[in-house]
Amino acid sequence: MNFGAPGVLWALPLVAVPILIHLLQRRRTQLVDFAAMRFLAEALRRTRRRVLLEDLLLLLLRTLAVLALILALAQPSTESLPLALGREARAEVLVVDTSLSMDHQQNGSSSFTRGQALAAERLGALKGQLDDRAALLRAGLSTERLANGDPREVRKALGEMTPPRGGTSDVGAAILAARQTALDMGLPLDRIRITLLTDLQASQWPEDSPARTALARLAELGCAVEVIDCGADVRDNLAITGLELNPPQVVRGDTVQATFRVRNFAITPAEVEVVVKLDNDVVQSLRLNLGPQEEQEQSILLNPVGLGPRVLEVHLPHDALIGDDQRASVLEVRDSLQVLLVGDLALDSSRPGLVESLAAYLSLGADAPIQTESLPLSRLDDSALELADILVLADPGSISIAQAERIVSFVQQGGGFLMVPGPNTGQGESAALLEASGWSALTVGEVARPGAEDAARLNIVDGDMPALRFFTDARWQPLLTEVPFLSYRPLLLDPALAQTQGLRVGLSYLTRSDADSGTALVAGQLGRGQAAWLSAAPLPGWNRMEEVPGGTLPLLYDLLFQLSPPAAHPPQTAFGAPLQLALPLPATDIDLRDPDGMRRSLAPEALGSAAEKVVLLPRANRAGVWKMDAQLLRPDGSEDQRRDYFAVVNPVAESDLRGLSHNLFAESLPPSISVLRPEDAPTERPTSPDGRRQLTATLLLLMMAFLIGETLFAATLDRRRMGA
Amino acid sequence: MQSASDPKLRARLARLELRARTVVEGLRGGRHRSPARGSSSTFAQHREYVPGDDIRHLDWRLMARGDRNIIREFEEETDLQLHLVMDTSASMKFGEEPSKLEYAGWLAASLARIACDQRDVFSLSLTQGEELLRSLPARGGEGHWQSLLHALASVEAQGEGDPGRGLAAAAMALDRRGIVVWLTDGLGDPEEAANAVGLLRHRGHDVIILRVLDSAEIDFPYQRNTRFLGLEGEEALRLDPNAVRQAYLEAFEHHAQEFRRRLRALGCAVRRMPSNEPLEVGLVEFLARRSAALQRRGS
């Protein structure tokens, strides 16, 4: 209820005055001795019920008159007497923020439940019989209109809303959807109230953000607009703000570095125990002391043995916001890289060519992470490529167009490709391959022979290239850059085209005069796979790499790993991003379970095709670890099983619960928008002064009617009683 | 009964006598000569005693000489006996200046005075509740009137019960036919009153009922919330007089009509005597009745 002068309501006890007067009058009786008691007793018996009713009616009229006077003086809003006055229909549009931060708990209730309760109050004040209307919008990654129309249906939908499961919300889009909903209601806009129930997280409302712009547009509509801050008073939080794996996929026996970050969002220090699990087995537990607002980064090294997708999780003890107390990542552990070395052996066995030289370097033993198989160029076909992860083409003499297209197709589907031009590599063959790849920026130059006196050396152009990181260390760099090249075939690059085609230069040749003498290593993405051209491969007579094997082996080894096929999906999927992966074969059945273990329906296109990327779900709408079991159909008709995991992570911004200052926020908004706490938010709609005056006048008329009624009734009674 | 030396009693006696004499003198001034012949009581004859005769009239001397019970029979001293039966129940206490009891006493004294002046004999029976409290025998003379005044002045209103039954008790003690004047508020059961009056009528009495009521009982003038206390032990009632006035008056009048209807059906006169009205009204009624009775006797 809404009053213009609520202080007058303190006079409400005065409604008891007529009752008190009545009781006092009853107490003030005279004593009389009387003889004709039998007639009095009979009269009393006959009139008792009627007199009681008459007295009660009089008392009621007097009490109502006093009540009407007090209410009139308190200037109530028309909302207080909706049915009696037959008010016009009105509407509530409720927008509930369901981002992760709304799940923050305080005193047993979350920001979401506080908003839900306020929304229920507002819906409860509506009356279906007055044609009131309501709408409920869920503000998440996308806006969902849960119900629209009958307030009872909307209230039911509100009760069925589930607490936030993670992710952020696009409040701006939700506000615009609320605006459109209000316009579609067909009511005068001044009878519609739009309420945004949110926690006013500062990170969600930066200056000039779409949400603020949308609010401003909403204000232009003429509706009543209220932003209710349902957030907690104390917004402390501890969260895992990051988890990265380097590298994101390894072969058995390799070491992976897991780096995670923990942040204390409180203004007081915190001590927290962090647990790291691999496939639910605790691999490390450590205690961190975090200062106010401090973020700490920790790294651990893992040597996973088991093959396949492995789930690495970092956990914190649950606090007021539990959605960010764990974070996961999926690590792909492969058995080994299958390298197919294709090239023709040298005709003169005393002078081995690039194929022999590379084979010598890449034959590392049965347990090595790289397993190499050699094949003549003439035998290169689809079946040869089927089992290969990386194709190394060493100094090809001639390449047919079909072979070139086969190689490019192999790379585009995720395979790795390393082209090593040498003395026998024809420019025409190279051009055909490069053309099929779309790398027109690159050509293979003629053989350069600077000789021993002016031998060229390698220069690291991009130390961030994975294959070259080892050599960014000053101790190991000379192992690569001090090797003399007496002869070489420089790669020639058009810088402008190279940039547009995404080509990345790793190494170049430098001569004694430090003049740039061509490119030695170029890499780039080709479809799902990666390709690289390396002209600086070990070749006796051309360079002296064999004399410094400590540099050559890491270069080749890391380069092959750089080119290795990507994982079927990223280690982490952002909340709300499509849940997708690459399946090598068509799937006949896929069982997808969310972190709660519930089976989820798939996107229709998920089955039946081995697409480049299979979309399982358009949006990952639960944070945590998802599990997939797929039945794949081999070309020969047999089936293959595949299990995979997906780690869906919440946006870090949702962990920072700090709220906006109401005053500053309100000042930045149009004045018609109210920013309130739930306890200050009125359930009833504010009433216009005219409406207030009308109701006050109505109450005064009522009071007069009660008084006149009381006077007439009392006079009638007096006349009847006294007249007798 | 109060002592004769009680100053309060003496004052009440003086007031009673003054009031009665004044009333009777005023009444006489406007009337014809009294129809009463006025003769002294004279011995007439003896006769044999029969059951029911007053044993006080047995002639002991003759009885001593013979073996018969001889009773002396006297000639009537007057033509008429006046029997005053006055209800002195607690309800008669009601009323102020005067109370119903006082007013009834004035009436009784005045009637007795008239009888005394006309050489009639008069008796007084005082009933309380349903019992006969005291009675003065039927005699005449100034001394007897003074005795009557004393009896009236000394009685207090008390006792509970239906006045009709009290009248019946008094009726049993009345041996000679005459005019019975019943001074009562008549607030009891009309049927009981009718029974008692029927008994009197059966014995040949002419009955006049002077129903003494206070104006507050008739008009019920109370306004403020009042707690009514019953004079005869009834349960107290707290009520708004305005609310019940009409119902009370209806009940009161209904009772009065029933009372009057029943008693008039027995051939007696019923006169309501509000205590704020002049006493003469009741006395005129009495005199008219007396005249009629003498005429019947003369014929």
Question: What is the predicted pLDDT for the residue at B39?
Answer: 31
Question: What is the predicted pLDDT for the residue at A560?
Answer: 93
Is pLDDT at B292 greater than 90 in this prediction? Answer: no
Minimum mean pLDDT range among A291-295, A337-341, A654-658, B114-118? B114-118
pLDDT higher for B297 or A6?
A6
What is the distance in angstroms between the Cα of A710 and the nearest Cα belonging to chain B? 16
Closest chain B residue to A44, measured at CA: B244
Is pLDDT at A352 greater than 60 in this prediction? Answer: yes
Segment B240-290, tens digit of pLDDT: 888 888 889 989 999 999 998 988 888 888 888 888 877 776 677 667 766
Which token pair is A209?
């953000």
Residues 6+ apart with CB under 8 A from A688: none
Band the pLDDT of B227: cuts 50, 70, 90. confident
Q: Which of A24, A25, A28, A40 to mutate to test the interface with B (most CBs of B within 10 A)?
A: A40
Question: What is the predicted pLDDT for the residue at B15?
Answer: 67
Is pLDDT at A3 greater than 80 in this prediction? Answer: no
Query: What distance in Å separates the CA atoms of residue A459 and residue A452, rounded to the nearest whole number?
Result: 18
Handedness of CA B213, B214, B216, B219 (dihedral sign): positive
C-beta atoms of B226 and A54 within 8 A: no
Q: Which of B239, B252, B254, B257 to mutate to test the interface with A (most CBs of A within 10 A)?
A: B239
Q: What is the mean predicted confidence (pLDDT) over A10-25?
A: 81
Closest chain A residue to B99, measured at CA: A35
Question: What is the predicted pLDDT for the residue at B34?
Answer: 36
Question: What is the predicted pLDDT for the residue at B76?
Answer: 45
pLDDT higher for B231 or A81?
B231
HSE, CB side, 13 Å, CA atoms: give it for residue A332: 19
Q: What is the mean predicted confidence (pLDDT) over A626-654?
A: 90
Band the pLDDT of A316: cuts 50, 70, 90. very high
Q: What is the mean predicted confidence (pLDDT) over B89-110?
A: 88
pLDDT higher for A303 or A158?
A158
Segment A691-703, tens digit of pLDDT: 566 777 788 888 8
Contacts A–B by Cβ distance under 8 A: 110
Band the pLDDT of A344: cuts 50, 70, 90. confident
Question: What is the predicted pLDDT for the residue at B244?
Answer: 85
Band the pLDDT of B21: cuts 50, 70, 90. low
Question: What percent of chain A has a predicted confidence (pLDDT) above 90?
Answer: 39
Handedness of CA A50, A56, A62, A64 (dihedral sign): negative
Between A37-73 and A17-27, two packed helices, what is the crossing angle to 10 degrees? Answer: 160
Is pLDDT at A530 greater than 80 in this prediction? Answer: yes
pLDDT higher for B21 or A67?
A67
Interface of chain B toward chain A, CB-CB under 8 angstroms = 91-94, 100, 185, 187, 214, 216-217, 222, 224-232, 234-235, 237-240, 242-252, 255
pLDDT higher for A306 or A330?
A330
Is pLDDT at A119 greater than 90 in this prediction? Answer: yes
Question: What is the predicted pLDDT for the residue at A238?
Answer: 94
Question: What is the predicted pLDDT for the residue at A707?
Answer: 86
Question: What percent of chain A has a predicted confidence (pLDDT) above 70?
Answer: 94
Q: What is the mean predicted confidence (pLDDT) over A637-654?
A: 91
Is pLDDT at B7 greater than 90 in this prediction? Answer: no
Work out the mean pLDDT of chain A and round it to a whole number: 86
Interface of chain A toward chain B, CB-CB under 8 angstroms = 25-26, 28-44, 46-47, 51, 54-55, 717-718, 720-724
Residues 6+ apart with CB under 8 A from A621: A140, A141, A165, A166, A167, A575, A576
Question: What is the predicted pLDDT for the residue at B2?
Answer: 42
C-beta atoms of B247 and A31 within 8 A: no
Long-range contact list for B288-294, CB < 8 A, 24+ apart? B289/B179, B289/B206, B289/B208, B290/B35, B290/B80, B290/B179, B291/B35, B293/B80, B293/B179, B293/B206, B294/B35, B294/B36, B294/B79, B294/B80
Q: Which of A31, A54, A721 minimises the CB distance to B245?
A: A721
Question: What is the predicted pLDDT for the residue at B8?
Answer: 63
Band the pLDDT of A110: cuts 50, 70, 90. very high
Closest chain A residue to B93, measured at CA: A35
Q: Which of A32, A35, A43 minimises the CB distance to B248?
A: A43
Question: What is the predicted pLDDT for the residue at B9?
Answer: 59
Chain B residues within an 8 Å CB radius of A34? 94, 216, 228-231
Which token pair is A460?
């690291």
Chain A residues within an 8 Å CB radius of B224? 28-30
C-beta atoms of A39 and B255 within 8 A: yes
pLDDT higher for B46 or A530?
A530
Predicted TM-score (pTM) of this structure: 0.56
Band the pLDDT of A398: cuts 50, 70, 90. confident
Closest chain B residue to A724, measured at CA: B246
Minimum mean pLDDT range among A6-15, A411-420, B155-164? A6-15
Band the pLDDT of A724: cuts 50, 70, 90. very low
pLDDT higher for A295 or B174?
A295
Is pLDDT at B49 greater than 70 in this prediction? Answer: no
Band the pLDDT of B13: cuts 50, 70, 90. low
Minimum mean pLDDT range among B162-171, B207-216, B251-260, B265-274? B265-274
User: DSSP assignment, residue A568?
Assistant: S
Which token pair is A532?
């690289």
C-beta atoms of B187 and A29 within 8 A: no
What is the biggest distance separating any 2 CA atoms in chain B, rounded to whole angstroms?
A: 76
Q: Which of A40, A720, A723 minimises the CB distance to B237?
A: A40
C-beta atoms of B224 and A30 within 8 A: yes
Band the pLDDT of A7: cuts 50, 70, 90. confident
Is pLDDT at A370 greater than 50 in this prediction? Answer: yes
Band the pLDDT of B1: cuts 50, 70, 90. very low
Q: Is the peptide bond before A538 cis (omega within 30 degrees of 0)?
A: no
Chain A residues within an 8 Å CB radius of B251? 38-39, 42-43, 46
Is pLDDT at A263 greater than 50 in this prediction? Answer: yes
Is pLDDT at A465 greater than 90 in this prediction? Answer: yes
Question: What is the predicted pLDDT for the residue at A207?
Answer: 86
Band the pLDDT of A492: cuts 50, 70, 90. very high
Query: A201-210, A236-245, A424-433, B288-297 — which one is most confidently predicted on average?
Result: A236-245
What is the distance in angstroms between the Cα of A49 and the nearest Cα belonging to chain B? 11
Query: A59-68, A306-315, A581-590 — which one is most confidently predicted on average?
Result: A306-315
Q: Is the peptide bond before B137 cis (omega within 30 degrees of 0)?
A: no
Is pLDDT at B291 greater than 70 in this prediction? Answer: no
Q: What is the mean predicted confidence (pLDDT) over A596-621?
A: 78
Question: What is the predicted pLDDT for the residue at A298?
Answer: 93
Q: What is the mean predicted confidence (pLDDT) over B80-99?
A: 88
Band the pLDDT of A705: cuts 50, 70, 90. confident
Minimum mean pLDDT range among A3-17, A88-102, A314-328, A486-500? A3-17
SS3 (DSSP) at A175: helix
Phi and psi angles of residue A192, each rounded to the nearest 5 degrees, phi first: -115, 135
Segment B132-155, tens digit of pLDDT: 888 888 888 888 888 888 888 888
Is pLDDT at A715 greater than 90 in this prediction? Answer: no
CB A470 within 8 A of CB A561: no
What is the distance in angstroms between the Cα of B173 and the nearest Cα belonging to chain A? 28
Question: What is the predicted pLDDT for the residue at A9?
Answer: 81
Minimum mean pLDDT range among A187-201, A313-327, A328-342, A347-361? A347-361
Query: What distance in Å separates the CA atoms of residue A183 and residue B115, rounded to the nearest whole number?
Result: 110
Domains present along chain B, CATH in parentheses: 7-34+80-298 (3.40.50.410), 43-75 (no CATH)
Q: What is the mean predicted confidence (pLDDT) over A479-502?
A: 91
Question: What is the predicted pLDDT for the residue at B78?
Answer: 47
Q: Nearest 10 degrees: CA dihedral of A153, A158, A162, A166? A: 120
Q: What is the mean predicted confidence (pLDDT) over A535-546?
A: 89
The residue among A339, A379, A377, A389 whose CA lies nearest residue A361 is A339
Query: A578-587, A713-722, B21-30 — which one is most confidently predicted on average?
Result: A578-587
Closest chain B residue to A47, measured at CA: B244
CA A637 vs CA A36, A381, A384, A526, A585: distances in Å: 117, 22, 20, 30, 11
Band the pLDDT of A507: cuts 50, 70, 90. very high
A390-394 and A416-420 strand pairing: parallel
C-beta atoms of B242 and A721 within 8 A: yes
Chain A residues within an 8 Å CB radius of B234? 37-38, 41
C-beta atoms of B229 and A720 within 8 A: no
Q: Which of A29, A33, A35 minimises the CB distance to B187?
A: A35
Minimum mean pLDDT range among A182-186, A647-651, B221-225? B221-225
Q: What is the mean predicted confidence (pLDDT) over A320-335?
A: 91
Question: What is the predicted pLDDT for the residue at B32?
Answer: 31
Segment A78-87, tens digit of pLDDT: 554 444 445 6
* Sheet containing B226-230: order of strands: A30-34, B226-230, B237-239
Question: What is the predicted pLDDT for the residue at A1?
Answer: 55
C-beta atoms of A721 and B229 within 8 A: no
A624-633 and A639-649 strand pairing: antiparallel
Q: Which of A35, A718, A720 minimises the CB distance to B231?
A: A35
